[in-house]
Structure 1
Amino acid sequence: MTGPAQAARCDWRSLPIAALLVAVLATPALAQTAAKEPLPVPIGWLKVEQPAPPILSNLAPPPADTGLAGARLGREDNATTGSFMGHDYQLTETLVPEGEDALAAARSALAATPFLLVDAPAQTMIQIADLPEAQGALIFNIARGEDSLRGADCRRNLLHTAPSDSMLTDALMQFIAWRQWSDLVLIEGEHPGDAEFSAALEASATKFGQKIAARKTWAFDADMRRNASAEVPLFTQDFGDYDLLLLSDTLDDFDRYIPFNTWLPRPTGGTEGIVPAAWSPSVEQSGAAQLQSRFIDLNGREMQSADYAAWAAVRAVGEAVTRLNSSDPAALRDFLLSDQFQLAGFKGRPQSFRDWNGQMRQPIPLVSDRAVVALAPIEGFMHQVTELDTLGTDRAESACSAFSD
């Protein structure tokens, strides 16, 4: 458990970049290192495009550079320190069009760099991690939340800066338990991702002593842009009384039409309403406003969760290279999984990787459209090591064996 004295302690891991650079330049050995030939640190970004399922509205389509924009900012941030240290960070970008050979593209990317950020379906990500060319590499999952990737399907060379589904749903259920909202109901979409997120909600409810009393499947094919005010009240009427309506709509198809149209005036949470996320434009504390501003200046839009995960992956590599003055992926992996690594992630607490499944520990903001409602872990949820491990799969619960040797 982290106490006030420990949180207030300042050591070299928690120094801001400017202070670190002063220390670097004041240290003769490191200053001499910085004067040597540049150390190349190539980092790759690879996205496998997927067919977009039809949804009711394309009112807010995801940006075309989702994730990539965060990687670009991470590279810029790494270059700030790297210019003093003699580290040359380069970012290569690979977009695999729908239907083309993702594994061939991954082989080509891995021939240029041992550090690869991947945005791809879970099964494709596993196949990339299993490539012979990837065995000495470090691959970062920057997009997928499936707990199986951190469990039975984990891979030794695959780390995760995207939070798992269970981290997100645990964060939400901590907040619900703290508010003492005990009567919960759920509406779930028909997409496979909706069922997976619903299962995570159910598991988190059980974990924190909650119960989802009733659930319904959204199977409407009518245009809710015109019919929501008539259909949604009838659809939710037989839920009876409840404290919170959970929504599981991972495609952002129907959930936007549920709030303010339910039979009873009740809050919503999950994929709409109170939403757990890796990042949100509403996050402003702990220096986040400065990160948001730099992202907007570079990319002309606001930072999203996938951007944050990509930024965190690139910055994790940069932090490890800075500390070790090495770009050896095996050495960097050992450092990233050690208790020596910490990343200042602008969410109020140092972030690190779990050494049993490669998941980055991180606070989870619970956000509405324009504000942060709370930041999980919620105060009062205790853990023997760090409260961040109350979010997601803990060591004793893990089905991952690839990190045990």
Structure 2
Amino acid sequence: MPTATAIILGVMMVKADARRSSAFQRFTDFVRKGAVFGSALAALSMTLCPTVAQAQAQTEPLSQIHIGVILPSTSEGTELDHAVAQAAQQGVVLATEEFTQNATMFGIDFAVVTAEAEGPDVIAAAEDLLAGGDVFAIAGGFDAEEGRLLSQWANENTVPFVNLFASDDRLRNELCAATSFHVAPSSAMYLDALTGWYVRAGLRNWFVVRSEDEESAAQYERLGRALSERHFGAREVGHAVLTPGVGLQDDALDAIAGSGADVVVLLSPAQDQLDALVRLEKRNLDLLVTGFPHPQTQTRTFFAASRDAAPVLGVGMRALAWEPTLDAYGARELNARYMDRWDQPMESAAWAGYQGIKVLFESAMFSSSTEVEPVLSYLAAPGSVFDVWKGIGTSFRPWDHQLRQPLYLSKIDPAATETRLLGQLVGELPAIYMPGTEPVERLDQIGDLPGQSQCRL
């Protein structure tokens, strides 16, 4: 039996877009009656995205969908890097297996062609994938540099690109591109969610520790705007800048101890966050510590390392794109399928890899094409809705191509012995189950709005 929440969500979604719902019902009826898939697809596309459907009306039936994915190496880097790479690869494999089965039902040749590359090497990997002549789109990007390079390359070569895990806000602002779409939550979304959770919990005095790099500086500025513009009474009570290879020094620790801070936010790479936790723990400070959710910090490997490094301050709450203990909206089934396949919890990198494949697969299917123009048109169309198992139909924002979506807050469990239970879901933002607003309006509560965006597509 459906839960009360599921029923309410269903009613909300029907009211929010009755036309889309009726189109989906017609599509479902066609398939159930054994109609030709292309006819059903055309009917749905005509309702949801008329321009795409009309553009594709005279094309041959779709026979092939090949997607290129650039993944980090599982054989190089630190243990934290390996955890991200392994999760991403496993998410892509699961998506490949499931969508191959779906595509085969309709006589479509589906394949995901992968390459391992990091940093500047992602460009050569993308060129090799494109040179094969089969892939129509590329997915990848696991840090700011990779996201920037692949987005620029895709724009120059007019190739649809899905950014999987690069959160850098510049990719959605001055470096945005018409061919790039971001499954990865933006830094602005993460920071708005963090401030929302903590300030509403009564933590109003913030001390910020950041690195010297440009991305950390931008995060620091955006966090300041979130505190000053969105939350009355919240304030920064101090900040410190980490010197590369040096870590959190005594003067910074003294400043934190004397600041009256309720919470310390570490805008630094994963290993620097762990090192800072060790030094903060030694001071026996009565406060909470969290950090920016870089890909490495969104792993159970990091959760375990944080707990071991600082048994008191290292078991706080962390922001995530996906939480393996999420048990609603169909997430239960996705998490269960992943666990059955890999005997490991589905972490954020796995979710991102899976959803990147899903978004591109559906864009080809529902535009009935792998040509650039119809695929990009479908991705960007206001009526295109993607179910990423977060409880609500999501879409890409028209002003910066960021996927609207909820984020999750997980509490590290100091006593957990099972890997999946190292984190426990304690928060979701936006709270999509709250009635009274349209889905798009609610999802746009985090991240940059059109008036704040520097993107000009």
* Equivalent of 2:123 in 67, 79, 103: 103
Q: Which of 106-115 and 212-221 deviates more?
A: 212-221
Secondary structure at the aligned position of 2:336 is classed as helix
* Equivalent of 1:156 in 150, 155, 178: 178
Give 1:169's aligned residue: 191
* Corresponding position: 1:395 with 2:450: yes
Q: Identify if the C-alpha distance between structure 1 residues 286 and 231 changes in structure 2 by more than 3 Å, giving closer, same or farther.
A: farther
In the TM superposition, 1:110-189 aligns within 5 A as 110-111=130-131, 112-119=134-141, 121-131=143-153, 135-189=157-211
Q: Identify if the C-alpha distance between structure 1 residues 361 and 260 changes in structure 2 by more than 3 Å, giving closer, same or farther.
A: same
* Equivalent of 1:74 in 95, 100, 114: 95
What is the CA distance between 1:116 and its match in structure 2?
0.4
Q: Is the 8 A contact 1:141 1:159 kept in 2?
A: yes
Give 2:355's aligned residue: 312
The unaligned stretches of length 5 or more in structure 2 are 1-7, 42-59, 293-313, 413-422
What is the CA distance between 1:186 and its match in structure 2?
1.9
What is the CA distance between 1:263 and its match in structure 2?
4.2
Secondary structure at the aligned position of 1:358 is classed as coil
d(CA) in 2 for partners of 1:368 and 1:156? 37
* Corresponding position: 1:375 with 2:428: yes
Give 1:44's aligned residue: 68
Deviations, residues 267-295 of structure 1 (Å, cap 9, x unaligned): 22334732222112232222212211222
Q: Identify if the C-alpha distance between structure 1 residues 220 and 143 changes in structure 2 by more than 3 Å, giving closer, same or farther.
A: closer
What is the CA distance between 1:22 and its match in structure 2?
7.0
d(CA) in 1 for partners of 2:224 and 2:74? 28
Q: Is the 8 A contact 1:186 1:215 kept in 2?
A: yes
d(CA) in 1 for partners of 2:113 and 2:425? 34
* Corresponding position: 1:252 with 2:252: no
Q: Identify if the C-alpha distance between structure 1 residues 89 and 53 changes in structure 2 by more than 3 Å, giving closer, same or farther.
A: closer
What is the CA distance between 1:328 and its match in structure 2?
2.6
The unaligned stretches of length 5 or more in structure 1 are none
Q: Identify if the C-alpha distance between structure 1 residues 4 and 180 changes in structure 2 by more than 3 Å, giving closer, same or farther.
A: farther
Give 1:340's aligned residue: 383
What is the CA distance between 1:311 and its match in structure 2?
1.4
* Equivalent of 2:288 in 257, 263, 267: 267
The one-letter code sitting in structure 2 at the alignment partner of 1:212 is E
Q: Is the 8 A contact 1:48 1:102 kept in 2?
A: no
* Equivalent of 1:277 in 304, 308, 320: 320
* Equivalent of 1:349 in 392, 417, 420: 392
d(CA) in 2 for partners of 1:104 and 1:222? 34
Q: Identify if the C-alpha distance between structure 1 residues 61 and 132 changes in structure 2 by more than 3 Å, giving closer, same or farther.
A: closer
d(CA) in 1 for partners of 2:257 and 2:291? 20
* Equivalent of 2:12 in 6, 11, 30: 6
Give 1:94's aligned residue: 115
Q: Which of 358-367 and 342-351 deviates more?
A: 342-351
What is the CA distance between 1:223 and its match in structure 2?
10
Q: For this pair of structures, how many residues does the alignment match? A: 390
What is the CA distance between 1:67 and its match in structure 2?
2.0
* Corresponding position: 1:85 with 2:103: no
The one-letter code sitting in structure 1 at the alignment partner of 2:114 is E
d(CA) in 1 for partners of 2:154 and 2:222? 33
Give 2:54's aligned residue: none
Give 2:37's aligned residue: 30
d(CA) in 1 for partners of 2:191 and 2:203? 15
Q: Identify if the C-alpha distance between structure 1 residues 262 and 278 changes in structure 2 by more than 3 Å, giving closer, same or farther.
A: farther
* Equivalent of 1:211 in 235, 252, 266: 235
d(CA) in 2 for partners of 1:43 and 1:60? 24
In the TM superposition, 1:215-226 aligns within 5 A as 215-218=239-242
* Corresponding position: 1:238 with 2:281: no
Secondary structure at the aligned position of 2:83 is classed as coil
Q: Is the 8 A contact 1:39 1:327 kept in 2?
A: no
Q: Identify if the C-alpha distance between structure 1 residues 115 and 132 changes in structure 2 by more than 3 Å, giving closer, same or farther.
A: closer
What is the CA distance between 1:43 and its match in structure 2?
0.5
What is the CA distance between 1:87 and its match in structure 2?
2.6
The CA RMSD measured in Å over matched residues stands at 4.0
Deviations, residues 36-78 of structure 1 (Å, cap 9, x unaligned): 9871100011146699898xxx589524434222222222332
The one-letter code sitting in structure 2 at the alignment partner of 1:290 is E
Q: Which of 152-161 and 314-323 deviates more?
A: 314-323
d(CA) in 1 for partners of 2:239 and 2:436? 27
d(CA) in 2 for partners of 1:142 and 1:121? 9
The one-letter code sitting in structure 2 at the alignment partner of 1:30 is F
What is the CA distance between 1:172 and its match in structure 2?
1.0
Deviations, residues 121-148 of structure 1 (Å, cap 9, x unaligned): 5445444444489533211111211111
d(CA) in 1 for partners of 2:143 and 2:244? 27
d(CA) in 2 for partners of 1:243 and 1:132? 44
What is the CA distance between 1:158 and its match in structure 2?
0.9
What is the CA distance between 1:200 and its match in structure 2?
3.0
d(CA) in 2 for partners of 1:88 and 1:125? 28
**TM-score, length-normalised on structure 2?**
0.73
Secondary structure at the aligned position of 2:114 is classed as strand
Looking at secondary structure, tell me which structure has more helix per residue: 2
Q: Identify if the C-alpha distance between structure 1 residues 352 and 188 changes in structure 2 by more than 3 Å, giving closer, same or farther.
A: same
